[in-house]
Amino acid sequence: MIRACLALLRRDLTLSWREGGAIGTALGFYFTVVVLTPLGLGPDLNLLSRIAAGMLWVALLLAGLLSADRIFHNDYEDGSLDLLMLGPIPLELAAGIKSLAHWIATGIPLTLLAPVLGLLLNLPIDAYGMLMLSLLAGTPAVSFLAAIGAALTLGLRRSGVLIALLVLPLYVPVLIFGVSSVSAATTGPGSPWSALLILCAISLISIVLSPIAAAAALRASQR
Amino acid sequence: MSNRKPPGGLSGLANPTRFLSLVNAVTPWLAGLTVLLIGYGLYLSFFQAPPDYQQGQTVKIMFIHVPSAWISMFAYTVIALSALGVLIWRHPLADVSAKAAAPIGATFTFIVLVTGSLWGKPMWGTYWVWDARLTSMLILFLLYLGLIALRQAIEDPVRAARATAILALVGAVNLPIIKFSVDWWNTLHQPASVFRMGGPTIDPSLLTPLFVMGAGFFALFTLLHLLAMRAEILSRRVHALQQIAVQRAAAA
């Protein structure tokens, strides 16, 4: 069982690495959105440093969604999703592993890019540690919640836009606690750790519950 | 089949034909009750309720605004319960209920947002404040839109039923978390200084019309829901008949 899970994880990671396009697109999108922000708001460094944490989080959510429909789509197209449903791994676990692969392939690279973009937005130096922690704690929720949207819209036309409409409202708690932990680290009031711990809790809940919902949606799509 | 006694009680109502006859019997009474309650409530709120000592006549927006807010949350509860019915018992009537309730709930949520923003302009001097309550209502509206959009995007009716039911339950699990996080967000960013609903608790002279209007809105929602369910059942029958006709024509 564990070997099958690891094999699935390795396969998904290899596919997303060899394909290349998905990671590159997400990173490029993230970069572009953050670069466009000062052009829209003006080059005032004080203003930018105040909104940096929020902009980094919002752009990360959008970039994560950009590749969300690929979580199940390629397997659906080439038929390996049918094999997964017949195989020894429970579909819930398979959905969880595929979300995990999405997190490793998208969430972690985006997290690593974030501090570079923080420089562009004049994020205060003492916020970088908390920014990385909050992104690391929050991006699993981003990937796992996106998997629900990907499973619900599997094989539909215009599924990308639909995923955004379905999943973005669910991202509200992640966004709020992610940003508030970073801004509490710079400006206060209060300790950033409480927001960070709640963010971890949200991620853990979504890691447990969203594969169940995603698997149910996959079964509904494969009647 | 024909000599078997029909099951009674709630499970009997799950039969669409019996449900339709119940709807047909109940609708006129419910419509009359709705008109009476809302009419009396409007009379009370426009002619009996005194203007608020601070807010003046604008307090009367409350008699539309607050009942709509109750209905907008009640409708989501109905959808979530129907979603359980879809996923556990796989009953088509539960899906009809969920499908019929979504646009009604979205409409009431929209009414809440519009009346709230019209109320906000004279009271707070702006149409929109990122208050925790307003924000969570806005997100509830987005969830409704997501439900409707997902239903429209899926062509296969059975898959559409299951997928929207899953989404409705995911939303139901998330709504308390969203509410909690929005409350946290607002208290962190902006202490309750711009406006406070508190101060005097609501006077009975304003409370009575509010409750009458609330009862009227519940009756209105039930009526609209039943009518929409009837229309949905009938349109599904028409669809089924059309398919039979097509098959016959193809066979001939």
Contact list, A194 vs chain B (CB under 8 Å): none
CB contact under 8 A, A173 and B173: no
Q: Is residue B158 part of a domain?
A: yes
Give the chain B residue nearest A190 (alpha carbons): B188
On whether residue B17 sits in a domain, the answer given is no
pLDDT at A21: 72
Q: Is residue A211 classed as helix, strand or coil in its secondary structure?
A: helix
Distant-in-sequence, close-in-space partners of A23: CB < 8 Å, separation ≥ 6: A16, A17, A67, A105, A106, A109
List beta partners, residue B52: B56
pLDDT band at B52 (very low <50, low <70, confident <90, very high): low
Q: Look up the domain containing A131 and give its range.
A: 2-221
pLDDT digits 0-9 by tens, A68-116: 888 888 888 888 888 888 888 889 999 999 999 999 988 999 999 999 9
A190 contacts B139? CB cut-off 8 A: no
The answer to whether the CB of B25 falls within 8 A of the CB of B89 is no
Residue B8 lies in a domain: no
Residue A51, pLDDT score? 87
State the amino acid at position B197 in one-letter form: M
Choose from A171, A176, A219 for mutation: most chain B CBs within 10 A: A176
**Mean pLDDT confidence for B84-107:** 91
pLDDT at residue number B117: 86
Q: Tell me which of B189 and B146 has the higher pLDDT.
A: B146
Q: Residues B102-131: pLDDT tens digits? A: 999 999 999 999 988 888 888 777 888 777
Residue B142, in any domain of the structure: yes
pLDDT at A19: 76
Identify the pLDDT of residue B1.
37
Judge whether residue B217 has pLDDT over 90. yes
A152 near B CB under 8 A = yes
Q: Rg for chain B (alpha carbons), in Å?
A: 22
Is residue B162's pLDDT more than 70? yes
Q: ipTM for the complex? A: 0.86
Tokens read off for A165 = 């409409």
Domain that holds residue B46: 27-191+203-251
Contacts of B3 by beta carbon, 8 Å cutoff, 6+ apart: none
* A221 vs B contacts (CB less than 8 Å): 159, 163
Residues in chain A, pLDDT under 50: none
Q: What is the pLDDT of residue A20?
A: 67
B5, pLDDT greater than 60: no
Domains identified in chain B, total number: 1
Asked if B183 and B132 touch (Cβ cutoff 8 Å), the reply is: yes
B183 falls within a domain: yes
Determine the average pLDDT of the residues in B87-101. Answer: 89
Is residue B194 predicted with pLDDT exceeding 50?
Answer: no
Contact between chains at A221 and B159 (C-beta distance less than 8 A) = yes
Into how many domains does chain A fold?
A: 1
